[in-house]
């Protein structure tokens, strides 16, 4: 029954809407702006590793729902490699430049009502750009009205050590390919392991459990944040041979506790259950399907 409901929702959401689309490019980034009919109340940024083909086909209902509620959606690609976790300011600078192009062309879109979010590495980038803006680094003074992140990796020291442990086990159902990619990326761009380059790992992380909370959390205190994940220990053990401490739920819950303990008054943690399925209907807690899309749109609208 769950699979049937998911497939019906998928077929419904794939129906193409009338699309008002614009392309934006710089020397190292690109974006697609989807505009609603009539007045635009704000902008939602979704940064992906690749841009969708045109016309955009909606695998999920988030974008159509946003457009129906008068929110423009800016789908961007700012990554220089995969997976890009915004380990330094290069990626945020690229996004900053794209946004400047957009707001120069559309001054009627209120830049003060800009939201950003995503799943996995895209959620990490959303939080890193929020930090970038709140640290006064945006060349144009942009700040995010709100940020949402779905099961993102946040603690790069933990992430690296998890991948090393999984590679040591070398179990046939473990995600060996991804762990090789992550360790190679971090070793290359942070120039060593966490023990060799501890400060670089802390600086490149959204949150590091082994580092003091206050300086890490300070840049996030003024921005509403919603974190969504689906803790399913059995699934990770049975399908990835991974312990709960080796999944992103560890980072997400620790980051939330740090936010609240440091006085964040508008941080939300949503733990879902039995919602995670991929587009083929297979059980997968690390999936956008864990998001209650109408509720997320309502959360965004409540911050306007």
Q: Please state the three-class secondary structure of the chain as a single string.
A: CHHHHHHHHHHHHCCCCCCEEEEEECCCCEEEEEECCCCCCEEEEEECCCCCCCCCCCCCCHHHHHHHCCEEEEEEECCCCCCCCCCCCHHHHHHHHHHHHHHHHCCCCCHHHEEEEEECHHHHHHHHHHHHHHCCCCCCCCCCCEEEEECCCCCHHHHHHHHHHHHHHCCCCCCHHHHHHHHHHHHHHCCCCCCCCHHHHHHHCCCCCCCCHHHHHHHHCCCCEEEEECCCHHHHHHHHCCCHHHCHHHHHHHHHHHHHHCCCCCEEEEECCCCCECCCCCECCCCHHHCCHHHHHHHHHHCC
Is the per-residue pLDDT at 75 higher than 80?
A: yes
What is the Cα–Cα distance from 258 to 130, expressed in whole angstroms?
17
The pLDDT of residue 283 is 97
Instruction: Give the C-alpha distances (Å, rounded to integers) separating 202 from 111, 210, 212, 304.
Output: 30, 9, 10, 33
Tens of pLDDT, residue by residue over 15-68, are 445 569 999 999 999 999 999 999 999 999 999 999 988 877 888 999 999 999
Residue 283 is given by DSSP the state B
Confidence category of residue 8, pLDDT binned at 50, 70, 90: very low
In the predicted model, what is the mean pLDDT of residues 73-83? 96
Measure the CA–CA gap between 270 and 79, rounded to whole angstroms: 28
Tokens of residue 219, six digits:
């840049």
pLDDT above 90 coverage of the chain, percent: 88
Query: Residue 86's Cα: distance from chain center in Å?
Result: 11
What tokens does 267 get? 């941080």
Mean pLDDT of 273-278: 96
Residues 6+ apart with CB under 8 A from 23: 30, 31, 32, 33
The predicted model gives 180-209 an average pLDDT of 98
pLDDT at 219 over 80: yes
Q: How confident is the model at residue 89 (pLDDT cuts 50, 70, 90)?
A: very high
Q: How many whole angstroms separate alpha carbon 43 and alpha carbon 133?
A: 16
| CA distance linking residue 225 with residue 105, whole number of Å | 28
Q: Within a 10 A sphere around the Cβ of 259, how many other Cβ atoms?
A: 23
State the Cα–Cα distance between residues 267 and 146, nearest whole angstrom: 10
The per-residue pLDDT for range 113-156, each reduced to its tens digit, is 999 999 999 999 999 999 999 999 999 999 999 999 999 999 99
Averaged pLDDT score across all residues of the chain: 93
* pTM reported for the whole predicted model: 0.93
For residue 17, the model assigns a pLDDT of 53
Q: Report whether 55 contacts 86 (CB < 8 A).
A: no
Q: Which pLDDT band holds residue 11 (cuts at 50, 70, 90)?
A: very low
Pick the CATH number of 2-154+215-302 from 3.40.50.300, 1.10.10.10, 3.90.180.10, 3.40.50.1820: 3.40.50.1820
Cis peptide before 195 (omega within 30 of 0): no
> What is the CB-side half-sphere exposure of residue 35 using CA atoms within 13 A?
14
Average the pLDDT over 247-272 and give the result. Answer: 98
**Structural element, H or E, at residue 14:** none
**Torsion sign (Cα): 96, 102, 107, 111:** negative
- Domain map (residue ranges) of the chain: 2-154+215-302
Pick from 217, 199, 198: which is nearest to 207 by CA? 217
What confidence score (pLDDT) does residue 23 get? Answer: 96
């Amino acid at each position: 029954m769950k699979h049937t409901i998911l497939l019906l929702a998928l077929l419904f959401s794939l129906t193409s809407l009338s699309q008002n689309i614009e392309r934006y490019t710089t020397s190292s980034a690109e974006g697609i702006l989807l505009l609603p009919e009539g007045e635009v109340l704000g902008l939602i940024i979704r940064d992906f590793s690749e841009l969708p083909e045109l016309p955009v086909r909606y695998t999920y209902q988030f974008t159509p729902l946003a457009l129906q509620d008068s929110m423009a959606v800016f789908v961007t690609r700012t990554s220089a490699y995969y997976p890009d976790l915004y380990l330094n300011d290069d990626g945020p600078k690229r996004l900053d430049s794209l946004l400047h192009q957009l707001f120069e062309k559309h001054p009627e879109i209120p830049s003060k009502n800009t939201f950003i979010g995503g799943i996995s590495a895209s959620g990490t980038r959303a939080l890193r750009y929020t930090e970038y803006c709140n640290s006064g680094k945006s060349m144009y003074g942009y700040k995010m009205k709100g940020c949402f992140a779905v099961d993102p990796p946040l603690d790069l020291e933990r992430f690296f050590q998890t991948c090393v442990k999984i590679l040591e086990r070398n179990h046939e159902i473990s995600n060996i390919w991804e762990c090789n990619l992550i360790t190679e990326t971090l070793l290359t761009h942070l120039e060593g392991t966490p023990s060799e380059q501890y400060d670089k790992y802390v600086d490149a992380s959204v949150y590091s459990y082994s580092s003091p909370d206050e300086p890490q959390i300070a840049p996030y205190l003024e921005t509403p944040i919603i974190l969504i994940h689906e803790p399913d220990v059995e699934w990770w053990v049975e399908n990835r041979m991974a312990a709960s401490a080796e999944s992103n739920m560890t980072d997400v819950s620790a980051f939330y506790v740090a936010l609240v303990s440091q006085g964040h008054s508008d941080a939300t943690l949503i733990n879902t259950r039995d919602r995670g399925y991929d587009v083929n209907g297979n059980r997968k807690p690390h999936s956008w399907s864990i998001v209650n899309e109408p509720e997320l749109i309502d959360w965004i609208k409540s911050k306007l």
